[in-house]
Structure 1
């Protein structure tokens, strides 16, 4: 994996770290929706531009093997909040997805009926926000929640202030005001949603700069429907043209076409707007004089959308994307900046996941850990201060569902260099050595049968121990209808996507008369 953050600095000693440790540091947690590992200029993209996010990585530590806890949003977010893997907390799909016999209403004609799952964050869990609030922190949430409906909103799970968080997982009404969000009143026609959330967060920071706070900025970006302004589209349309347009932008994965190039000017503009918003919040920390006393986390909830939804980006050399069982669906940007550690530009290749934020942040803030709660997370503080975590615990993922993006119902274990994927449709497995095959092209199930058997037993036993729900065969499965649907995808959907991609580069491209509301009558 290639990272370009330089220079790599030598860690300071633990003694120096303790001598400057602030008694009550603030925490700013930035979560982006659907952002892929390579959707940042600092992680290898030559198309997208993200100087503000890159700065967080340059001033903190980059975990080069950072994972989301799920390939889709709600389960991953629940794992951040609870410190538990998805099969344990019970939210295994995005909240609102059909399961059981209701799945047939999607006209998918699949072999299995997806497993049932919880539709709200469990009330008996002590969330990360509740842990900080219990330690005297002022807690703030802005943006996407998607962890339950009325009664299970941010304010019901430890956040003193909630701006924009409700049950919807996409930006209803779009990225430009007027939007449809009862938790975020419209103020100015054409206002950008990402910038508005950043301004709300900045206002909170300025108001509570003299106290101690835990602020969680959860962007709706870069979730579809992807939208941008005409100016940003023009910038990236011209950039893509100057770089040379690929003749084709997609290839077929197992079920859906998947994007193979990063050249979508609309998505690039959406990414840049998110980065602009990050810059606003970082500037507010500096202006408030608390930059050196604030831990900053930056990550995403699942891989970039390469298939399904808006077919926005490419995650290559990682295989797949959001909704997929391969690395492109779960590998993420994972940055932690702890100003007093002075370890900017450093990296760690220890495999980490979304469950680790809970104990890590408590540990860094000097708050007592809750091992009975964040049972699937480990504190990364030893790594951040220059020590080692010798033992690499197994990581587990459980997604007994069909996604909108082409992934299959499956469960995963990663232990050391090995990653085993168990498929629920046919009881088959795939085994990859991700230390040398990050693109998961060589299934080693035949060459390493004993390793595969051991990992399969361990995975299935763990799922049994935590009471994981699994999918069941659909007795009404129709192989003919399934084949017809697949034929339509190849013969109609794929060519349609290629045509849409080229249309975005047309000089007279115009999605609608006001560019999704970004161009108002005042412009």
Structure 2
């Protein structure tokens, strides 16, 4: 296999230029035109959530490798929040925050569902960590007032398709237990059971013989389009929650070929990984399977957008597009790289929490206006109520604020954003809590009770820890963070009295000496012209073989 000596640094340059240009448009941007607009009564809502999609995993957000024309159109028509954040570094907590408008520290789901994620049972994972993660809620509380419940109360038809991961039938915590009239494919699973091609191993997603080999993302889009057609004369909330681009990643032979060839033209580097603090991290966007999986999602979204347009509903439907956490640079399938941002899913740095965050309101001329005010997933619940002319529910979405003023070119009060993740992430994240206030971000680590302080205006890559050189700012933010945590009924990791430091150091050395070379080998195989994952390309060619 030939490896070219062309550096991928231009990818990072593109993202830096993009962020700089987007941030040049401030919170009261005049690009938003509200003149001569007629606000419809009870507009429809299409909420699109892509799992594990990173901030830089879209062409409009700086990627020169991934191709996402349909998603880009949402951003180009709507508003881009350049400093949009997920409420957590991993999925379930963030998803619960989207549903409730509350931070994980408040609603209690601080980690994804798993029996070996806390207390002494955590030691079964053999990570040999200093701390034992705390217990936490494993499903959405029935007492929580959710986004779909609020809309259903106002006469909306509500629909859910895709990944739920907030409990299942046993806990009475399916989507239909929390305000959705229809549930297609949502239960307690966090990944695509059975893979991304039909037949699916999902108890809430029936398999049809004629759909054999159909891509899961397209299946969810088709079900969403079906719901929209059936409710074209009603007010509706359609929540399309893709399982993609979660591991294990899969695509078709055609899309793999397209992106393998593209990677070769861009220049394939000899070494594709480097060690982060805990695990190896992907250095470049050059994964052809992941790129194909992203394009599957984009194709699926294009189908739903066409349905809206064909029915004449595109002028009466608010569209939200976002992700539940950063892209996977370490762990899982080591799928992507976030260019200038440090880390990815699970990590406490920007790559783990900063995400694509677009809102398109068709009766307001936005044309890709950008807003650099820090916003969170907790804000979407009150924002959608406000944009729809419905009463807010401050007793429910206690941590979110309506972003409607920003979307109308006005301002909102400055406020801090908070994160609390007292766990170890599968991707290398450490037990920590975070506060972002203005340009400053402080990360407080629970292992050693030390802090990192970053100026995100000058150091978006979080490489220059300013905690020692700016002790007053660090102390002030730390105090504010800890004071806020005191107001939450939350839990903290505790020191393992039997901690074996030597065993931990041995495990870390293994990641460097075994995991990293293994990932390098897998990457080179996947980029080889004669690579074949299996006989039928994960089932995508089932129909072709008959």
1:125: which partner in 2? 144
User: TM-score normalised to the size of structure 1?
Assistant: 0.97
1:439: which partner in 2? 461
Q: Structure 1 CA distance, aligned partners of 2:418 and 2:157?
A: 33
* 1:237-256 aligned within 5 A: 237-256=260-279
Q: Structure 1 CA distance, aligned partners of 2:257 and 2:155?
A: 47
| 1:421 counterpart (438, 443, 448) | 443
Cα deviation for residue 387 of structure 1 reads: 1.1
Q: Structure 2 CA distance, aligned partners of 1:320 and 1:514?
A: 34
**Distance verdict in 2 for CA 1:285–1:521, change over 3 Å:** closer
Q: Structure 1 CA distance, aligned partners of 2:271 and 2:137?
A: 41
| 1:486 counterpart (491, 505, 508) | 508
Q: Secondary structure at the match of 1:452?
A: helix
Q: Is the CA contact 1:10–1:343 (under 8 Å) kept in the aligned structure 2?
A: no
Q: Is the CA contact 1:2–1:43 (under 8 Å) kept in the aligned structure 2?
A: no
Residues 1:190 and 2:213 are matched in the alignment: yes
Q: Structure 2 CA distance, aligned partners of 1:221 and 1:291?
A: 25
Q: Secondary structure at the match of 2:321?
A: strand
Q: Provide the aligned C-alpha RMSD in A.
A: 1.4
Cα deviation for residue 246 of structure 1 reads: 1.2
| 1:104 counterpart (123, 136, 142) | 123
Cα deviation for residue 13 of structure 1 reads: 5.5
Q: Structure 2 CA distance, aligned partners of 1:321 and 1:60?
A: 26
Q: Is the CA contact 1:209–1:288 (under 8 Å) kept in the aligned structure 2?
A: yes
Residues 1:35 and 2:53 are matched in the alignment: yes
2:187: which partner in 1? 166
| 1:456 counterpart (473, 478, 488) | 478
Q: Secondary structure at the match of 1:437?
A: coil
1:212: which partner in 2? 235
Q: Is the CA contact 2:31–2:367 (under 8 Å) kept in the aligned structure 1?
A: no
Q: Structure 1 CA distance, aligned partners of 2:193 and 2:47?
A: 23
Q: Structure 2 CA distance, aligned partners of 1:3 and 1:205?
A: 34
Q: Is the CA contact 2:213–2:543 (under 8 Å) kept in the aligned structure 1?
A: no
Q: Structure 1 CA distance, aligned partners of 2:377 and 2:154?
A: 22
User: TM-score normalised to the size of structure 2?
Assistant: 0.93
| 2:527 counterpart (493, 505, 513) | 505
**Distance verdict in 2 for CA 1:11–1:508, change over 3 Å:** closer
Cα deviation for residue 386 of structure 1 reads: 1.4
1:113: which partner in 2? 132
Q: Is the CA contact 1:337–1:344 (under 8 Å) kept in the aligned structure 2?
A: no
2:4: which partner in 1? none
Q: Deviations over 1:318-363 (max 9, x none)?
A: 0000000000000000000000011121110010000000000000
Q: Deviations over 1:91-117 (max 9, x none)?
A: 000112510111000011000000111
Q: Deviations over 1:65-124 (max 9, x none)?
A: 000000000000000000001101100001125101110000110000001110111111
| Aligned residue-pair number | 520
2:41: which partner in 1? 23
1:180: which partner in 2? 201
Q: Secondary structure at the match of 1:298?
A: strand
Q: Deviations over 1:283-311 (max 9, x none)?
A: 00001111000000000000000000000
Cα deviation for residue 10 of structure 1 reads: 4.1
Q: Structure 2 CA distance, aligned partners of 1:343 and 1:197?
A: 28
2:225: which partner in 1? 202
Q: Secondary structure at the match of 2:537?
A: coil
Give the 4+ runs in structure 1 shifted more than 3 A. 1-17
Cα deviation for residue 11 of structure 1 reads: 4.1
1:407: which partner in 2? 429
Q: Is the CA contact 2:32–2:407 (under 8 Å) kept in the aligned structure 1?
A: no
Q: Secondary structure at the match of 1:58?
A: helix
* 1:36-435 aligned within 5 A: 36-96=54-114, 98-150=117-169, 151-187=172-208, 188-389=211-412, 391-435=413-457
Q: Is the CA contact 1:11–1:385 (under 8 Å) kept in the aligned structure 2?
A: no
Q: Structure 2 CA distance, aligned partners of 1:79 and 1:323?
A: 16
Cα deviation for residue 189 of structure 1 reads: 1.4
Cα deviation for residue 364 of structure 1 reads: 0.3
Q: Secondary structure at the match of 1:191?
A: coil
Q: Structure 1 CA distance, aligned partners of 2:30 and 2:467?
A: 40
Residue ranges of structure 2 left out of the alignment (5+ in a row): 1-15
Cα deviation for residue 144 of structure 1 reads: 0.2
